[in-house]
Amino acid sequence: PPPPPPPPPPQTPMFASVYDLRSLGYMTPVKDQGNCGSCWAHANLGVVEARWKMLGTGTYDLSENNLANCKIFDGDACSGSCAHSYVAAYFANLTGPVNESADPYVPVPGSCLSKPRIGTVLDWREIPYDMNTMKQTLIDYGPFVISMNWDQAYYNTSNFTYYYNGSQPINHAVIVAGWDDNKVTAGGTGAWIIKNSWGAANGDGGYFYISYNDTKLGIGVGTSFFPTLTNTNTNEVSYHYSNGHWGSYGYGQNVAQYGLVKYSAFANQQIDRISTYVGGANSTVSFEIYDNFDGAALSGLLFSSVDLTCEWPGLYTWNIPAINVGKWNDFYIKVKYNSPGNTYPIPIELETAPKAPTIQSNVCWIGLTGTNNWLAIGANTSYKANLTIRAYTTPGPTTMLNCTSPVALNCG
C-alpha cells in the first residue's frame, strides 16, 4: 500500500486585527506611581485587578503600597528593579493582596503594614515573548506584565506610539492590555496596547502603543500573569522554608528528578494544598505525602497525585483532599519534576537570594531515583539552599492523637 500522507502543517491561530481589553470592560482605572520606582507593583496588581474582573469577582482597588513595602526581596519600596517571581512570593506567603483603602499609596518608602488579605493568589505563570502565545493569553487570561526600556526620545507624543531599537537595559514594567495590528509606529505596522502607571493624563488616557518590533520589550525580568483567585481563609497557614524561587538544583540529566521536604505541624492541621515552582515549559509534576522517613526510605503514604501538566514556567498550587496531621507530627512531601530539556529542574532558594532566607538543616533532600538514595541539602551541607515546596493548611480536628512535644519520639 502507498505510504500514508504526511501530517498537515501546523496552523497559525487566527486572531482579530484589534483586541482591546478596555473595550471589554476588564481594565481597572489608571494609577499614578509618582516620583517612585514602583512601576512593578502597579503593573502586577493591575494585572490581578483585571483578572479578577474577568473572573466575575468584582472590581477591586489593590494596595501597591502594601506590595511595595512588604515585598520579599531587598531594596525599599521605590527601588525600581525586581524579579516578578518575588511578587508571586508576596502572594504565596499570604501577605497580600490588601485593599488600597487599608494601605493607601504614597510615593515614598514606608514600613510594611500587616493588613487583612482580600484574596488568595497562589498561582503565577511566565509566558514566552511569542506573538501567538501573548495574544492567546490576552484572550484566555486577560492582561499580563511585561518589561521594557523607556527613553522619552523614542516616544511619539502626537500618536502615543513608542519604538525603541537600542540596547540599553530594561527600566520599566507595564501592562499589555491588547493589540492593534494596524497601528503604525516608527518600528513598522503593528503594536501592543500598553497600560502605564503615570496617571490618566499621560498618553492616551494613561495608555500608549509599543511596536511589535521593539528591541527590549519582554527582555529581562519576565512576561507574566496570575491566572487564579481562591477564596481567602484567614486561618490558612503556609508551611515553607523559602521565600521564593532563586536557583535550581539537579543532576545534569534530562530525566525526572526529585525533591523531598519535611515539615512538623505546630498544631492539629489539615493539609489542603501543595505548591511548588516549575522552571520549564511543558513540564509534569507529581507529588506524594508520607508520614515517615528514616533517611533512606519513606513510609506511611498519605496521598499520591497523578502527573500534573505545567504548560509554562511559574508557581503552581494544587488542591488536595484534606489530610489531617496531629500537633508536632512530621509529614514529608516528595515532588517529582520532569521538565524536558531542563537538566536542573528542582527549584530552590539559595542563601545568596536578594533577601537571604534562613537555610535550614535536616529538612530538605534531593534525589535522582526518588527512592532510598537521598542527598541532604541545607546549612550543614555543601549545598546551602532550601527547597521551594510548600504545604498550605487549615486547622484540623481538635481530637487527634498528638505528640507531646516537638522533640518527642515517634512523631512521624
Residue type at position 342: N
User: CA–CA separation, 51 vs 28, rounded Å?
Assistant: 10
Burial class (CB in 10 A: 0-12, 13-18, 19+), 186: middle
Residue ranges of the alpha helices (H) in 81-150? 85-92, 131-141
CA quadruple 377, 90, 147, 107: dihedral sign: negative
The residue from 65, 66, 99, 196 that is catalytic is 196
The CA distances from residue 168 to 36, 87, 165, 219, in Å, are 21, 24, 9, 11
Host H or E run for residue 19: strand 18-20
Query: Catalytic: 39?
Result: yes
Which grid coordinates belong to 313? 514556567
E strand map for 47-198: 124-126, 144-148, 155-156, 161-162, 172-185, 188-195
Q: β-pairing, 172-185 with 188-195?
A: antiparallel
Which grid coordinates belong to 404? 507531646
Rg (alpha carbons) of the chain, rounded to whole number: 23
- Which strand ranges, in their side-by-side order, compose the sheet holding 248-249? 248-249, 346-350, 385-387
Cis amide linkage into residue 340, ω under 30° from 0: no
Which grid coordinates belong to 46? 493591575
The residue from 36, 39, 78, 310 that is catalytic is 39
Q: Can you say whether residue 67 is alpha, beta or left, with left for phi > 0 and alpha for psi between -120 and 50 degrees?
A: alpha
Long-range CB pairs of 306-311, under 8 A, 24+ apart, other chains included = 307/338, 308/284, 309/282, 309/283, 309/284, 310/278, 310/282, 310/283, 310/284, 310/285, 311/281, 311/282
The residue from 172, 240, 386, 403 that is catalytic is 172
Query: Catalytic: 78?
Result: no
Query: Catalytic: 70?
Result: no
Contact by Cβ (8 Å): 259, 337: yes
Residue type at position 402: N
Which grid coordinates belong to 394? 487549615
Provide the annotated active-site residues: 39, 172, 196
